[in-house]
Amino acid sequence: MTITAAAEIISSFKSHSEMHLLEVQWGIADYCNTSSKSARVASWAKLACDEELTVMIECGRVSLERALVETAIKSPSEQWKSDFWKKLIAGLRFDGFELVENEIETSDFNLRFSKQKKKFVTLVRMLPDDIPGLDFREAESEIVTLLNLFGFGVAKGHLEQAISAFQRGEWSSSNGELRNFFESYLNEIAVALGCSRSANSKDKRDFLGEQVQPPFLLTDYNEWNKNNQKPQFIQSLMSRMHPHGGHPGLSEEDDATFRLQVALITARLLLRRFKHRQSISHN
């Protein structure tokens, strides 16, 4: 989605001849369908997804997908309200990047050197790239694999809907599905470990923290505690995923991104733990 959105943005502000010049600069002209802009976009996206190509841009040699993104973010600010721009933003955030808006003062010689402000964006990494476990594309893939392995179809459905809504920029819908995803896979783990399916969600989390032996949610890690006054990560995260209404001054995009990231990292940790527990019980 990120790559396709970037290619679509480029086609929206570049002419056919300008797109051809980029193909020549990048050394991909022989691989591209030039019959229409949409065909060019499809060719670019397919090449970026299927081939490990490096191309030359102003700052040196980079991957073709990076070149597409770097070119797309140079689009005029009028493009920033388009649906493709929203998809690019969502895709980049899911890849661990975001666009930071900047502003510089420029002189317009046609208007007797009048000062004008020009907006532009730069690409920045949201989190360090050398810390294991922070690749959210990788996290999503592993989580889906584990959900399939355990037969947690309902939880998988909620995750797919959450990611789909996030990619469309529908933050509230994404948040709601992430809450359902978090609650669903914890419930399924509790049932798999012996809890009654008819128990409510809170009782199932208590089962995971106290009744099943050894406990699945760990008191030593402050994931669960019998004393409600003690720190409890799982219940606190559940509460964080269920706030009441928006909060002035907070970006819905930032909040939705945070929820998606923390939900994926937490799910990967707990589903891996469940897989390890299942493998021990079967040996």
pLDDT surpassing 60 at residue 21: yes
Greatest mean pLDDT among 57-61, 80-84, 120-124, 194-198 lies in: 194-198
Q: Quick: pLDDT tens for 127-178.
A: 666 555 666 777 778 899 999 999 999 999 999 999 888 888 888 899 999 9
Angle in degrees, 0-180, between the axes of helices 252-281 and 83-94, rounded to the nearest 10: 40
Instruction: Name the DSSP letter for residue 230.
Output: S
**Does residue 180 contact residue 259 with C-beta atoms inside 8 Å?**
no
**Does residue 2 contact residue 91 with C-beta atoms inside 8 Å?**
yes
Cα 37 to Cα 19: distance, rounded to the nearest angstrom: 9
Helix, strand, or coil here: 228?
A: coil
Cα 53 to Cα 66: distance, rounded to the nearest angstrom: 10
Angle in degrees, 0-180, between the axes of helices 153-167 and 252-281, rounded to the nearest 10: 160
Per-residue pLDDT, 233: 94
The amino acid present at 213, given as its one-letter code, is Q
Mean pLDDT of 176-200: 95
Cα 275 to Cα 41: distance, rounded to the nearest angstrom: 41
189 compared with 228, residue with greater pLDDT: 189
Mean pLDDT of 10-25: 93
pLDDT surpassing 80 at residue 41: yes
**Does residue 104 contact residue 120 with C-beta atoms inside 8 Å?**
yes
**Does residue 185 contact residue 152 with C-beta atoms inside 8 Å?**
yes
Q: Is the pTM of this model over 0.75?
A: no
Helix, strand, or coil here: 264?
A: helix
Domain boundaries of the chain, sorted by first residue: 2-96, 136-281
Does a cis peptide bond (omega within 30 degrees of 0) precede residue 214?
Answer: yes
**Torsion over CA: 257, 259, 263, 266 (sign):** positive
Instruction: Give the number of other Cβ atoms within 10 Å of residue 283's Cβ.
Output: 5
What's the Cα-to-Cα distance from 266 to each of 8, 71, 143, 150, 153, rounded to whole Å?
34, 34, 10, 17, 18
Please name the helix (run of DSSP H) or strand (run of DSSP E) that holds residue 266, with its range, or none: helix 252-281
32-39 contact pairs (CB < 8 A, 24+): 37/11, 38/11
pLDDT surpassing 70 at residue 123: yes
Alpha helices in 51-99 (DSSP H): 64-72, 83-94
Mean pLDDT of 258-270: 91
Closest CA relative to residue 162, chosen from 146, 134, 181? 181
**Does residue 167 contact residue 90 with C-beta atoms inside 8 Å?**
yes
